[in-house]
Amino acid sequence: MWSDLLAALALLMIIEGLLPFLNPAGFRRGLLQVAELSDSALRGIGLFSLLIGVLALWWIRG
């Protein structure tokens, strides 16, 4: 179980690092746009992402 969690975290770090590595200027512009979103919009995006992740995990592990 711990090895699965660590593997998932490692994959997350790899995916998170791709955009700033490949396109740092675009990544910076995207972060500036996200910083201007309202709290409710960020919560909505976070909830959507969380639900998609849970459904994907349920489908993969099911």
Q: In this predicted model, what pLDDT tens digit does every residue of 11-57 receive, in sequence order?
A: 999 999 999 999 999 999 999 999 999 999 999 999 999 999 999 98
Domains of the chain, by residue range, sit at 2-61
Q: Which of 22, 8, 24 is nearest to 60 (CA)?
A: 8
The whole model's pTM is what? Answer: 0.74
Phi, psi (deg, nearest 5) at residue 38: -75, 165
Residue 1 has pLDDT above 90, yes or no: no
Cβ neighbours around 21 below 10 Å, total: 10
Instruction: Calculate helix-pair angle for 24-35, 2-22, nearest 10 degrees.
Output: 100
